[in-house]
Every structure is written in structure tokens, then in C-alpha cells.
Structure 1
Amino acid sequence: MPALPSSLITSLSCAPALTVPETAGGLPAALAGLPDPRARRGVRHRLVVVVTAAVCAVVAGYRSYAAIAEWVADVPAATALALGMTPDRRPSEAMIRRLLQAMDPQLLTAAIGVWLAERGTANTSTADRAIAVDGKTLRGSRTPGTAARHVMTACDQSTGVVLASIDVDGKTNEITRFAPLLDQISDVRGTVITADALHCQRDHVAYLTERGAHWILTVKGNQPSLHRQLAGLPWRAVPDATRDTDRGHGRREIRSLKILTISTGIDFPHAAQAIQIRRRRRRLDQPKRFTTETVYAITDLHVHQAKPAQLAAWIRSHWSIENKIHWVRDVTYDEDRSQIRTGTGPEVMAALRNAAIGAIRLTGATNIAAANRHHARDSTRPLALLGIT
């Protein structure tokens, strides 16, 4: 006997029955090729069904294994049928937990990333595509005897969709995982890869050049010789290529960008242009106190390949990934206080959150918390979002 619908989910007792997605497109089709880590004997619920239901629950704002199981138990029979479940035999919390703790998060992220990328490019041009590479520590996964897990992701700048993800364990670091991460993306030809100063590495540039990708890399103290060379360029004689002002959060920020074409004197392979970004900030209640930050970057893009405004947009969008993905997971989904620690559970839950955030952003929504509440009020809404109905 299925549980009664909760107050957050609309009862569909009077609604027409939804079809079981045996050949449906959407997320279930994208997940169909994932390997099931369970022994074949005794499997009652297909991996595609359980993972799709979990993503639906996360879209509705649910954060834990127990909460996902409650969403599954509470949805009306018509919704359960649409997901591919028998209404009177639904996945339990223990079954959901064991499966998600054993899945390969890298394959899961790749499958979801391909699906979201196809949706994201359906109505937009793929020209001038940029992918940001960034890492995040899953602080909630820390235990008394182990360090917190660290995950590095590749994210489409324009849509905020995570395209690939890879675990960075304690025996290595982000530098060695850069190429394996981007290897998960089948084609990066003509794509601009942006990364922070840690990835300003000659090996990375050689790898990206071999794959036909362009790059914009921040330069800081980890490359002291290169940083000195860039800082020593005649920036005072160079006019601002772009300049803009922004107000918000009780402060004013003035951003300017200068560009110099590199001919000689910069010891870095394939470097075509040097970039200086200067940010001056002041609090609105302290009009005479400015703080100034100067950052340098380098790129293989030539003048005819990217205008200054486009370079400025790519650099700024790379920094905004922190707000689009990481901040939402930490604040809206409370990831840093998550108690999920066993197996691959932390990385898999991060992949489910990325899937929910990406699918919501592709609808044009910017307030993820409001979108979670919207989808929690009607169990058919997450299905429609994921292409099931």
C-alpha cells in the first residue's frame, strides 16, 4: 500500500494516467547505458528508474537519501508509473542508498552532461563555446579518519551545465587530473578552456593544443618568472580595452581590461596575448576607500579570434562559476553539512545536484531555491523538466 501524498505534492487521483517511459527520451534514455554495480540476481528496480527518481527529488529540493526515499514514497501512483515503478512496490531508502553509494560518479556525470549539453545547444549556437575548469571540496564528506573528498569539474560557462567531473584523491592533485577530466568530453575543438592559476602549466597547454582547443589561463605566483614578465610589460602605455562598473551587495566595483599582443619576451608556449585585469572596489558607505586587485592572464587566442569584450566576458564568467554551481550547492542544497560519506555517495550526490541545477538553469530560471519550491508543489513538474512527460 503506497504512502499517502505529502502536503508538498499535488494528488493526481483525478488526472489521466502517465505513460511508462520504456522508449521515452529525456534523462532516462541518457542513463540507459550506465553499468549497474549490483548483482543481477534479485534486482527489483532498474538503475535508470532509481536514478531518475533521485534526480526528480533533488529538483524538488530534497537533499538526503532519506528525503529522496520519502519523495518516492509520497508521489501519486500515476507519477510512480511514469517513472517506471510499480506503485505498490517502490524503492526503499536502504535500496536507494546502497545503489547511489556504489555507482560510478564519473560515468553518471558524463551521461547527464551529454544530455544537458544536447538540450542546451538545441536552441542556441555552439559558436564561441567556453568551458570552465574548477575544483570544489565536499566538506561534508570529511570523517575523523579521512580528509574531505575533492572533485574537479568542467562546466559550460554560458549554461552553467556540468559536462564532466573527476575525483581528486589525497594521493594526487588537480594538475594531474586536468587531462583525464577533459578526456571525458569527446570534442573540444575550437572551444575555449578557462582555468585558474593552478592550471597554468606547459603540459596542459600542450594537451589542449593537441586537442584543438583554445585557452585562457590566470597567472599568479606559482609561475613566478612568467608573472614577473607579464607584470613588467608596459601596461601604463596601453589604453583600456574594456571598462565597466557594477553596483551590488553594498559595494561598487570598477573593472578594466588591457590587452597586449605578444611577439617576444614571454616564455610560455603558444602564448599570443597577455591580459591585465584590474578590479577596484569600495563599499558604498566608504566612498573614499578603494581596494585594488590586479590579475594577469595569458591566452593563445589572437586578436582576430576574440574581441576584447569577449575575452573579458570569458574571464568574468569563469569566476562566476563559483556562484552558479558551488554557491548553490553549498547554500541551497546545504552540501557542506551533508552527512553522506560512504562509498562514492558524496560524489554521486554532487552529480545529482549538478544535474538538477543544470536542468533548472536551462529553463531560464536563475533562483534555484524558488525553482525547487516550484517543482516540489507538483510531482509532475520534475518529470516534465527531465523530459519524461
Structure 2
Amino acid sequence: MNKFKSIFSKINDPRSDINKLHNLEDILLIGIISVICAADSWKDMETYAKAKVDFLRSFLDLPNGTPSDDTFNRVFSSIDSEQFETCFIDWVSNLIDITAGEVIPIDGKTLRGAKSNGKKSPFHMVSAWASKNNMVLGQVKVSEKSNEITAIPKLLELITVKGCVVTIDAMGCQKAIAETIIKQEADYILAVKENQKQLHQDILDEFRFGKTIDSHTDEDLGHGRIETRKCSVINDFKFIEDQDKWTGLESIVKVESIREFKNSDKPTETATRYYISSVKTDAKALQKMIRLHWGIENKLHWVLDVAFSEDASRKRAGNAAQNFSILSKIALNLLRKDKQTKQGLKGKRLKAAYNNNYLIKILGIKV
């Protein structure tokens, strides 16, 4: 907890001196603790703080009692979100141990509830996920007048990926992004679609005429379906134009999937996906790495919507949506760090709300 306080104390207080009834550190920590304990709104934060004021006083100052929902709203709406994100990334780097070969998927998610008057939501976050650690490494907001292509390099500059394999969908299949990853002494697997028309066509030609192709097939049975996936890899390719401009390029990959549904009239689904990679290994290993990319969808984005109600959130004032997203990810990381409690995240959040001893364990504090 001392390390946590020292990192987040770097955030500038946006309030004027006459409005400082509560310490910024107390507001930040109550915000984080209440979100761990199932708070999904500013009013929830106020309710939790009032109910647990004696417990909170055991490790917080609270010179003027607990903040109101308006105070939480004003503070988290005005805190510099880039500072908050930087502190979050700094804190995560002290929380987990990234080992060589870890797959780090990067993907974006729109905060759909933040839209107003039928307009497109202005809040789109790009996050990095540590597959082995099962935690969020960091996030950055995509600029309203930009897209993920500019946000991904910014995120890569903030996190440590040395020795890891970074996986990104087709939006991130850019020469500059590949170069950035290699410069950080990491490897990449980038999905290729027709946004890279020439590269996509070259890969099609390579698999059509290539002779030295390594392949691996596996089957996944469950949930009333059978999914067969064949991964094919070419390391010695001849038809890729300007391949030297794709820094570190070693492999091109094709994944063909067939999904059949048992006891159902639903038609068979087929899909073919293509990738480029700086990893030179066999088809079995590459197939495993590519499969791990979907962890960011299933274990982060889906969980944020289901367990933390992120898509239902209507926060949109100032930096509120962006900063509340960070609070949710801090809570998610701390709850995921607990490997002993055999409950889902919703159950863990409620347990932390009811049981101070469990919450202390999650926070790693001494009171």
C-alpha cells in the first residue's frame, strides 16, 4: 500500500485550495476501494464510504469525514487522465512479473455508455493484456480526431514488452508499429486484412504457390460445437513485396477454422485469417500464441462489461469515463491477483464489500 500511495501521489490535484475539504490521496483510495467492493457510480462510492468510515479511518486520514458523490464526480472528472494512466502503468509494473515469451495482446474498446444524444461515443481505449499474468498492463485513450494506429505506439512506449510477443488485430498492421515493437526488443504477430491490400494479396499468393509449409491442426470440443483449426506457416517466402520494410519479418501465417454445431440446424461456420510475425517457430507454437490474443476480449473487455457494467456507465463529463475505466482495471488486477478464492469477479467484489479481512488481503495492507 505504501508503494501504491507513493506512485499515485504524483497526480496533480486539480482543485483550488479553498475547495480541499478532503485529501486527494483519500479520494483516490476510496474510489479504488469502493470499485473493488462493487461500486459502479459516484453515489455508490459515497454510500460505501459512509458505511465503512470506521474501517477506512484505520488507514486513511479523513480529516473532514468521507467525500460526497459530487466530490467524487468533480475530482475524477478533472484529474489529468494521462497522469492517472501513467501512474497506473507504473503501479502495474511493480505488481506483476513479465517473463520472456509472454503474449501481450493489444486491442481497443469503446465505452458505449458514454455517448450522448445518439452520437458516437468519444471514448475509445486501447489496452494491453498480459496473458500469463492475467492482468491489464496499461491503457491509453484514442484521440477523438485519430484512431488506434496512433494510440498503439504511445501505449507501447509506456509499457515494458522486452522479450514478449505482442499481438494486434489488423488495425495495428503497420510498418511503423512493427518497427516500434522490434526496437523494444519484443516480437510481433499482426493480423493482415485488406487494409494492407498488397501484403494481403502477396500472402494469398505465397500460400497458393509456396511449397515449404509447416502446419498443425487441433480440435476444440465443447458448448455444443466442434471447432477445427489448422495453422499453416511459411518461413521461407518469395512473393512478399518490400518485405525488408516490415522490420523483423520472419513468418507468414494462415489459420483456417471450421465450426460445426451439434444437435442444431445452425450452418457450419468457416473463416480464414492471415498474420505476419517476427517469430520464427513452428505452426503449433504460433497457433497457441494467436489463440492467446482472444484473451483480451474474453478476460478483459467482456469482464469489464459483465462484472463491472462498463458499457452501461453513463459517465461522460470531463475525464470521468476514462478515469473510471482506470479504476475498474486497478480493481480487476487486484482481484485477479487473488488465486485462492474460487469465485467469479462479481462474487469477489461482493465478498470484499462484506468482509473487511478479505478486502485487506486484496489490498495488501496492514491496519
Query: Normalized against structure 1, the TM-score is what?
Result: 0.85
202-211 or 215-224: which moved more? 202-211
The CA deviation string for residues 211-238 of structure 1, in whole angstroms up to 9 with x for no partner, is 3221110011111221122122246966
| Greater mean alpha carbon deviation, residues 280-289 or residues 31-40 | 280-289
Aligned to 1:119: 95
Deviation sequence 1:154-175 (CA, Å, 0-9, x none): 2222223222222113311111
Q: 1:66 to 1:144 in 2, by over 3 A?
A: same
The structure, 1 or 2, with the larger RCO (C-alpha pairs under 8 Å, 6+ apart) is: 1
Tell me the CA shift for residue 145 of structure 1: 7.3
1:301 to 274, 279, 282: 279
Cross-structure match for 1:354: 329
Tell me the equivalent position of 2:5. 28
One-letter identity of the residue aligned with 1:297: Y
Measured in 1, the distance between the counterparts of 2:90 and 2:287 equals: 27
Gaps of 5+ in 2: none
- Pairing partner for 2:128 from 148, 154, 157: 154
Residue 230 (structure 2) aligned to one of 239, 248, 256: 256
- Aligned partners of 2:332 and 2:234: how far apart in 1? 38
Structure 1 residue 61: deviation in Å? 1.4
Q: 1:324 aligns with which of 291, 296, 299?
A: 299
Residue of structure 1 equivalent to 2:76:
100
The aligned residue for residue 20 of structure 1 is: none
Tell me what 1:177 maps to: 151
Cα drift, residue 336 of structure 1: 1.5
Question: Quick one: distance in 2 between partners of 1:68 and 1:284?
Answer: 46
Q: 1:385 to 1:109 in 2, by over 3 A?
A: farther
CA distance in 1, matches of 2:227, 2:136: 28
Contact 1:195 1:218 in 2 (8 A): yes
Equivalent residue letter for 2:52: V
Please say if residues 100 and 162 of structure 2, whose CA atoms lie closer than 8 Å, have aligned partners that are also in contact: no
TM-superposition CA deviations, 1:241-263 (whole Å, max 9, x none): 43322233332212221211034
**CA–CA distance in 1 between the matches of 2:218 and 2:266?**
19
Q: Distance in 1 between matches of 2:213 and 2:352?
A: 49
SS of match in other structure, 2:285: helix
Are positions 1:168 and 2:142 aligned together?
A: yes
1:387 corresponding residue in structure 2 = 364
Superposition deviation, residue 38 in structure 1: 1.8
Residues 320 and 296 (structure 1 numbering): CA distance in 2 closer, same or farther, change over 3 Å?
A: same
Q: 2:309 aligns with which of 301, 326, 334?
A: 334
For 1:31 and 1:380, the matched residues in 2 are separated by: 24
Task: Sort the Cα spacing of 1:381 and 1:27 in 2 relative to 1 into closer, same or farther, 3 A.
Answer: farther
RMSD: 2.4
What's the TM-score, normalizing by structure 2? Answer: 0.89
> Deviation at 1:137?
0.5
Q: 2:194 aligns with which of 217, 221, 233?
A: 221
For 1:127, give the aligned amino acid: A
SS in 1 for 2:38: coil
Shift of 1:240: 6.0
Q: Does 1:193 align with 2:166?
A: yes
Unmatched 5+ stretches in structure 1: 1-23
Tell me the secondary structure at the aligned position of residue 20 of structure 2: coil
Name the CA distance, whole Å, in 2 between partners of 1:193 and 1:222: 20
* One-letter identity of the residue aligned with 1:360: L
Structure 2 match to 1:132: 105
Which protein has the bigger helix share?
Answer: 2
**Paired residues, number:** 358
Q: How does 1:83-94 map to 2 (within 5 A)?
A: 83-86=60-63, 89-94=65-70
Q: Is the 8 A contact 1:27 1:388 kept in 2?
A: no
Describe the superposition over 1:33-58 as per-residue Cα deviations: whole angstroms up to 9, x where unpaired: 22222224442322222112111111
1:174–1:248 CA distance, 2 compared to 1 (3 A): same
Which stretch shifts more, 196-205 or 279-288? 279-288
CA displacement at 1:239 relative to structure 2: 6.5
| Counterpart position of 1:211 | 184
Correspondent of 2:85 among 93, 109, 126: 109
* 349-358 or 45-54, which deviates more: 45-54
1:290 aligns with 2:268: yes
**Contact 1:26–1:388, Cα closer than 8 Å, also in 2:** no
Match of 1:314 among 270, 279, 289: 289
C-alpha distance 33-229 of structure 1, shift in aligned 2 (>3 A): same
With 133-142 and 263-272 compared, the bigger mean Cα shift is at: 263-272
Contact 2:206–2:238 (8 Å) recurs in 1: no
Q: Match for residue 353 of structure 2?
A: 376
1:76–1:41 distance in 2 versus 1, CA, 3 Å: closer
Q: Which residue of structure 2 lines up, in the alignment, with residue 271 of structure 1?
A: 249
Q: Which residue of 1 is the match for residue 218 of structure 2?
A: 244
- Runs of 4+ residues over 3 Å off in structure 1: 234-242, 286-289, 307-310
* Counterpart check, 1:202 vs 2:179: no
**Alignment partners' CA distance in 2, 1:292 and 1:145:** 35
Aligned equivalents of 1:253, 1:69: Cα separation in 2: 48
